[in-house]
Amino acid sequence: MLRFLKPVLKQQFLVIILGIAAGIYYPQIKEHFLGKSVDVSFESAKQQQQQQQEKLFTKEELAQFNGENDKPLYLALLGRVYNVTRGAKHYGSGCEYHFFVGRDASVSFITGEFDDYVEGEADDVLSLKPADLLGLHNWQNFYEKDYEFKGKLIGRFYDEQGQLTTYHHKYLALLEQAKDEKATNQKLREKYPDCNIEWSADKGSHVWCTKSSGGKNRNWVGYPRKLFEIGNSNFRCACLRKEDLDTTEVMIAQYDNCEPLSHECYYQVD
Ligand code: HEM
């Protein structure tokens, strides 16, 4: 009888041991089969906690945080609200940047325009130039770092549930594009360094290349060309090697009245 029961008891014992081990090593097993799911659930718990703490402001609510009646000073940038009371010397009533308080005037961070404030357009940033979007991004990093984040403004960037709006996604896509363009332009500046530039009333603009122009030491001088950068309607003067003069990698143009193989050119700006 006992001999008959032995293998069954052995199997049950094994199942129990495996069960205990699975319990102890559950997080590792889960991580092994589901990748980083353990971290992700922790992250989302953290996010949920943050979401519970942050407040959603209406425009009218935000406007009340203007330092009056013992209220703190809040401002919004790209729909995110910060407590700037610590910087009261800049933002307090009568101070230089009080304009930003109680509203989202993101565009004015770029234009510096505080007088012609158009309600409803002050946070409409999609038509800004790529470099300006990067500028705004820097301002946002500044506020995230230096001031306390208080919540989100319901409107252009966040909906009533505090979720990103379609507009916000468009802004983020343009920002990514601006970052890519900047990286590409930086690489191009390595390959096609800036010329030296000077201006005088009688001769106009004078551009010329040397072995160190554009702050880039090299063993070649190069020939000045107008180089049109991505995302920039203006051109810059770049020094090109002889073998790059017919490049199609970038849009280039010769200076008028300048010898193609001269290291310097003069031109008048109309
Ligand atoms: C687009 C134009 C501009 C905008 C949007 C702007 C915005 C600001 C803001 C928001 C602050 C407060 C930063 C903080 O919280 O600590 C600030 C500070 C300051 N800004 Fe401007 N500013 C502009 C142009 C200028 C210009 C042209 C000058 C100088 C000629 C200038 C000089 C200063 C100085 C000296 C401070 C104080 C820095 C400190 O005490 O830490 N700003 N600016």
DSSP code per residue over 35-71: TTHHHHHHHHHHHHHHHHHSEEEPHHHHHT-BSGGG-
How much is the pLDDT for 74?
98
pLDDT digits (tens, 9 = 90+) for 141-174: 999 999 999 999 999 999 999 999 999 999 999 9
- pTM (2 d.p.): 0.74
Distance between first and last Cα of the chain:
110
* CA 177 – CA 170 distance, rounded (Å): 11
- pLDDT reported for residue 253: 96
Q: Are 97 and 69 in contact (CB under 8 A)?
A: no
Q: Which of 90, 107, 129 to mutate to test the pocket of ligand 1 (most atoms within 8 A of CB)?
A: 90
Residue 228's pLDDT is 93
Distance between CA atoms of residues 153 and 151, nearest Å: 7
145 lines ligand 1 (CB under 6 A): no
- Cα 3 to ligand 1 centre (Å): 89
Q: Is the CB of 228 under 6 A from ligand 1?
A: no
> 235 in ligand 1 pocket by Cβ < 6 Å?
no
Measured from the Cβ of residue 121, the count of other Cβ atoms closer than 10 Å reads: 11
Nearest CA to ligand 1 atom 5: 109
Residue of the nearest CA to atom 40 in ligand 1?
Answer: 90
Mark the ranges of the chain whose per-residue pLDDT is less than 70: 1-53, 270
